[in-house]
């Protein structure tokens, strides 16, 4: 690499995308095809679930994952050894990655560390991008309101994208919570039919047919992070938009499904740079 290109945005030459087998509506092949189309001349390859692919010592990994669990949603700095049962639970999930972890939150930064640690050294290079999908709910601690917040994506080396996070992290329409509250006051839950009728197409749900399409833009966020350090865009019609509401996700990823002009150009330049 000569000095004139050092500050240019250099795409990795290999991108690995890792399957998430617990969500039937998630299609890793479609994600790979999308990236191949966006990144011609980059080798995009699919692999099975990240931990199944890279890990041999399940016991040690299970312990690490149990240690990455968030304990209590308020600010916590306690360092606790995971319980035996928690480690066994993680081990079971690792052995059966098609099972969904329910109701457990994981610290996003700790998860990224665990991913990084199991990556073989010869693949831990900036020339190789790893995009792992998980059904685990990943969150980060926000000092502003002293709480953990669920995330769809943790950008890093590797990057981690959560299928459950896509459903749980961006807020649903306000009316949805009002309806839930109304029923909660009567000690009940809104009937599924009523929810469906009122909010059809306004958020992404488990096993939603829009899931794969909605996650394509997040893989581009991770590629932009890898290449430029900046994954997000302010333009709500851009696939890199950092959506906080479900309706924003649907708009950026499904209704638009495009990069804004600026990011489209940037990507084009990166692809051309790679070609030379």
Token pair, residue 261, equals: 């002009």
Total residues in contact with Zn ion, by rule CB under 5 A: 6
For the CB of residue 186, give the shortest distance to Zn ion in the complex, in Å. 44
For 87, counting Cβ atoms within 10 Å of its Cβ (0-12 exposed, 13-18 middle, 19+ buried), the class is: buried
- What string of DSSP letters covers 4-72? HHHTS-PPPSEEEEE--TT-TT--HHHHHHHHHHHSTTSEEEEES-HHHHH-S-HHHHHHHHHHTB--S
What CA–CA distance (Å, rounded) separates 195 from 190? Answer: 7
For the CB of residue 132, give the shortest distance to Zn ion in the complex, in Å. 24
Token pair, residue 139, equals: 């969150």
Q: Which is nearer to Zn ion, 161 or 233 (CB)?
A: 233
Token pair, residue 39, equals: 């990144």
Q: Which is nearer to Zn ion, 18 or 218 (CB)?
A: 218
Q: Which is nearer to Zn ion, 98 or 244 (CB)?
A: 244
What x/- string results for residues 182 through 221 when contact with Zn ion is judged by CB under 5 A?
----------------------------------------
Q: Which is nearer to Zn ion, 39 or 233 (CB)?
A: 233
For the CB of residue 260, give the shortest distance to Zn ion in the complex, in Å. 3
Q: Which is nearer to Zn ion, 17 or 260 (CB)?
A: 260
What CA–CA distance (Å, rounded) separates 65 from 42? Answer: 32
For the CB of residue 28, give the shortest distance to Zn ion in the complex, in Å. 25
Query: Under rule CB under 5 A, which residues in 216-275 are in contact with Zn ion?
Result: 233, 235, 238, 240, 260, 263
For the CB of residue 102, give the shortest distance to Zn ion in the complex, in Å. 35
Token look-up 């995308």 returns: 17
Return residues touching Zn ion (CB under 5 A): 233, 235, 238, 240, 260, 263
């Amino acid at each position: 690499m000569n000095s004139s290109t050092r500050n240019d945005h250099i795409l990795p030459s290999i991108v690995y995308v890792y399957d998430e087998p617990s969500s039937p509506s998630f299609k890793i092949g479609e994600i790979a095809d999308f990236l191949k189309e966006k990144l011609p001349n980059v080798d995009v390859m699919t692999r099975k679930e990240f931990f199944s692919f890279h890990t041999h010592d399940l016991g040690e990994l299970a312990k690490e994952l149990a240690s990455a669990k968030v304990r209590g949603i308020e600010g916590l700095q306690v360092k606790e050894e995971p319980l035996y049962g928690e480690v066994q639970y993680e081990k079971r999930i690792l052995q059966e990655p098609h099972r969904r972890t329910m109701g457990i939150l994981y610290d996003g930064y700790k998860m990224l560390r665990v991913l990084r640690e199991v990556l073989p050294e010869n693949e831990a290079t900036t020339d190789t991008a790893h995009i792992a999908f998980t059904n685990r709910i990943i969150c980060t601690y926000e000092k502003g309101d002293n709480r953990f917040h669920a995330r769809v994506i943790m950008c890093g080396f590797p990057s981690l994208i959560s299928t459950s996070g896509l459903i749980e992290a961006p807020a649903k329409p306000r009316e949805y919570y009002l309806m839930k509250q109304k029923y909660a006051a009567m000690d009940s839950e809104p009937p599924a039919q009523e929810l469906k009728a009122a909010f059809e197409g306004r958020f992404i749900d488990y096993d939603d047919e829009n899931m794969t399409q909605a996650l394509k833009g997040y893989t581009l966020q991770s590629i932009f992070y890898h290449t430029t350090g900046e994954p997000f865009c302010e333009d709500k019609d851009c696939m890199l938009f950092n959506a906080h509401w479900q309706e924003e996700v649907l708009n950026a990823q499904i209704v638009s499904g495009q990069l804004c002009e600026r990011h489209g150009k940037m990507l084009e330049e990166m692809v051309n740079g790679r070609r030379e």
